[in-house]
Structure 1
Amino acid sequence: MKTVKFINGIGAEITLTTDSEPFLMEKFSQSTGATQYTIKGSGQDGTKFIENTLNESDVTVKLSVIGNSNDEYMRYTNQVRRIFNPKLGQGYFVYNDGEKDLKLTCVPDKVFFPEEVGRIAGKGIISLTAHDPYWHELLETKEEIALWVGDFEFDFLNGLQIPEEGIIMGHRELSLIVNCPNDGDGEAGMIIEFRALATLTNPSLRNVNTQEYVKIIKTMVAGEIIRVNTHFAEEDVEMELNGVTSNAFNYIDEDMTFLKLYQGDNLFRYDAETGLDNLIVNIYRQNKYLGV
């Protein structure tokens, strides 16, 4: 069963389904256009296309509200109006079809229901604007580039016996490169996490194909974490040590780029100028789609 849940700016929510009362979703539509950028030379027929960008989306929800009495019907329609109150600002839809969960951020514009006396059921229309036209995956995917893998195990029945030569507790993964495929419909940001097991200097992450990179000019100590957020309009760098989080924007390399995930394969390689074996790198990402 497909469901669409809307959660408004204060956390109140409503679930719309295709086969369950009292809120039956009859149609969910999304319209997204694009702005084209062109140039025209003197005497040129037509124009030369440069690039385009997506505009905000117009979202329309058509639903039926069904009650057992006029009072119940009015209570349900008033609930819809409260949930989709435009004065509450941005909310978001969560779409689930049993296989994936996607999120679309919207601002309600208008809610319409006929208010005829005696009704126990009626159809309504809700209009919204998605300033970001993409549906984002609700859950992040974690890619571990450099990590330690545990090797330690023992027989509980016979107890732990340590030989003279010692026991291997874990091993370092040898791969310095990871592929982060973007199967979505557009370029996406990510969160890059550098973790220090012991002292290291100037950790970095580089796109093997484009040679764009993120680099932190800093000596990291054991237990320190630096997170680089490359999501559009959210670019930020923070560090965490002993439970205290602080701004780390002043440690970025002046020539670095806030890396993006391009559509298709994205090969990344991590590095550090010293203490490479003390570095763990994680990437947290979410693909985004133009429809569900």
Structure 2
Amino acid sequence: MDRKFINIKFQSNDVTLNLEDDFKLIKIEGIESSDYEITIENYMQYDGGYTSKKRILPRDISISFDYCNLKNDNIERQRLIKFFNPKSQGILTVNYCGVERYIIYEVESFKEVRKSLHEPLSFNLNLVCPNPYFEDIIIGETISTFIGGWKFKFKLPFRFKQKGEPKKNIYNDGHVDTPVEIIFRGPAVNPSVINHATGEFIKVERTLTSDDTLYITTEFGNKKVEIERNGMRQNAFHYIDLDSTFFQLQPGDNMIEYTTDNELEPQSVEIRYRNRYIGV
């Protein structure tokens, strides 16, 4: 098997497009890194200055590819025009020499560049990714109040039978901090989750029954606190302890622990996350 390869796949509106078989990838740029913005402040009375801010900017990705099947080129041309609709968001998955990661994109431009109808279809595609980070395909680890039992494919482990420790070290193998989704299944009184690596915690001042499931999302711009009962979710943001921090997992070790203010054990506590990378 050739270890030097790059495969790319697009997904949009439940449709998948693989640039394989009749397609030929000519060029792809922007997957190794995004542009950075570094702000330097000058010292007033000393030489030089200091770095006051670092920011990774939205990522631009440009792709050039051909469609080489002349018999079906008009049909494929119409399909590609429809697929790369600027009104539709998509997911780009890149497999670079066995390392596979994905990123959410918007179509910035899609243009045909062949010079005559007798040539193979040739396109230039420009994408912009407001969130510049590539992410893992697989969801990360969990902690749970019970260990042992079965694991189901493509899902986080459902564990039972044997009581486990209320804490676990989660290793973030990514390049930057990553947000988490916490799923806390009652019963519990004032449940909280602590990241001992940073000293940050999230606490919800609310009693959960065995019919309640607490969902907390710490992603910037998408922070949520919700309680689900009988399939219905309700906003629970107002129950958050004011000293709480919507923490993220830092690169490296993160010792995560859950606590409650009563002696009842919750059914399970899960931490879901995906490692984030500055490139692939």
| TM-score, normalised relative to structure 1 | 0.82
1:101 positional shift: 4.3
1:77 positional shift: 2.8
Tell me which residue corresponds to 2:166: 176
Tell me which residue corresponds to 1:273: 261
Q: Give CA deviations for 1:135-194 in whole Å, capped at 9, x if unaligned.
A: 1123312412322546xxxxxxxxxxxxxxxxxx93311x22211111111110010111
Contact 2:19 2:25 in 1 (8 A): yes
Contact 2:167 2:256 in 1 (8 A): yes
RMSD: 2.4
Say which is worse superposed, 94-103 or 186-195, in terms of deviation.
Answer: 94-103
* Matched letter for residue 211 of structure 2: G
**1:49 and 2:51 correspond:** yes
Tell me which residue corresponds to 2:79: 79
Q: 1:213 is matched with which residue: 181, 185, 201?
A: 201
Alignment of 1:194-209 (within 5 A): 194-196=184-186, 199-209=187-197
Q: 2:247 is matched with which residue: 238, 253, 259?
A: 259
* Matched letter for residue 83 of structure 1: F
Contact 1:145 1:270 in 2 (8 A): no
* Matched letter for residue 6 of structure 1: F
Q: Secondary structure at the match of 1:266?
A: strand
Q: Secondary structure at the match of 2:76?
A: helix
Cα distance in 1, alignment partners of residues 274 and 249 from structure 2: 10
Q: Return 5+ residue gaps in structure 1 as ranges.
A: 151-168
Alignment of 1:204-243 (within 5 A): 204-243=192-231
1:120 positional shift: 4.4
Contact 1:13 1:83 in 2 (8 A): no
Contact 1:204 1:216 in 2 (8 A): yes
Cα distance in 2, alignment partners of residues 206 and 275 from structure 1: 18
- What percentage of aligned pairs have identical amino acids? 23
Alignment of 1:144-183 (within 5 A): 144-147=143-146, 149=148, 170-173=161-164, 175-183=165-173
Q: Rg: which structure is higher?
A: 1
Over 3 Å counting, the alpha-carbon distance change for 1:84 and 1:257 in structure 2 is same
Q: Secondary structure at the match of 1:76?
A: helix
Say which is worse superposed, 89-98 or 30-39, in terms of deviation.
Answer: 89-98
Alignment of 1:51-66 (within 5 A): 51-66=53-68
Contact 2:144 2:166 in 1 (8 A): yes
| TM-score, normalised relative to structure 2 | 0.85
Over 3 Å counting, the alpha-carbon distance change for 1:45 and 1:276 in structure 2 is farther
**1:7 and 2:11 correspond:** yes
Q: Return 5+ residue gaps in structure 2 as ranges.
A: 150-159
Contact 2:144 2:268 in 1 (8 A): yes
